[in-house]
Copies of this chain bind each other. A is one copy, B any other.
Amino acid sequence: MERQVPEPTTRRLSLYLRVLADMEAGEVETTSSEQIARRCNLNPAQVRKDLAHFGGFGIRGVGYDVAGLRQAVAGILGLDRERPVLIVGAGNLGSALADYPGFNTGGFRIVALLDIDPAKIGTRTRRGAPVCPLEQLEDLVAKHGVEMAIIAVPAPAAPEVVDRLVAAGIRTVLNFAPVRPVVPDGVHVRHVDLKVELESLSFFLAEDEGDGEEEEDA
C-alpha cells in the first residue's frame, strides 16, 4: 500500500463515501468514476487516481460495485470500526459539535466534552454527551482508547490543550480554535477556519459590485 497519501485525497475519499452511501441507499448497484466525479464536482481522472492509491477496485468496462467500493472506502478511512472522540471545550461550539449530526454516527462516538467551568461540569448536551472536568482528559483517553480529539476552546487555551492531548496519546486533532499550534511528527491536526469560508464568499459580492463601482479611483 502506498504511503504519503495527500490530505486532499483523504477529503475526497470522504466525499466519495457519502456519494456511494447515497447510491447504495438509492439501490444503485454499479457506478463509474464519471458518475462519482459528477456528483463530487471533480474530474473522473481524479477519482480514478485517488482510488488507485489503494489498489484497483473497478473492472474495466463494467465500473465499480457500489456496495463493495463503499465498504472499501470506509475501510480505507478507518470507518469500519467505532472511533471514540473527545471534545475539549463545552461552550457553544463544543456543545454544537457534540450534537452535530454525523459526529455520533457512521464510525464516531463522542465520549465526553471536557471543560474547566464548574457550571458546565456534570451537565449533558442535548443528545446526551456528558461534560467532564478537564483534569479527566488523560484518564478518559486511556479508559476509552481515544485517538481523536476536537478542540473548541478559546485561542489562548488551545496550545496547552494540544500539548496535553498529544502527551496523552491523541494522534488526530480537529482544531476549531483560530490558532495553529505546533505538534510533533505523526500527529495530524486539521484546522477548520470558518473565517476563510465567509471571506471567500464575500468575494462573489465584491465581484458583482465591481461592475458598477468605478468611482473608487475618482
List chain A positions with a Cβ less than 8 A from chain B: 1, 3, 5, 7, 10-11, 13-15, 17-18, 75-79, 83, 85, 91-93, 95-97, 99-103, 106-108, 125-126, 147-148, 150, 154-155, 171-174, 178, 188, 190, 192, 194-210
Is the beta-carbon distance between B199 and A17 smaller than 8 angstroms? yes
Question: Which residues of B have CB within 8 Å of A155?
Answer: 101
Report the minimal beta-carbon distance from A150 to chain B, rounded to whole angstroms: 8
A96 to B197, CA, bound (A): 15
A-B interface, 6 closest residue pairs, ranked by CB to CB distance from nearest: A78-B206, A92-B96, A93-B96, A10-B200, A102-B195, A14-B199
Report the minimal beta-carbon distance from A144 to chain B, rounded to whole angstroms: 14
Is the beta-carbon distance between B92 and A95 smaller than 8 angstroms? yes
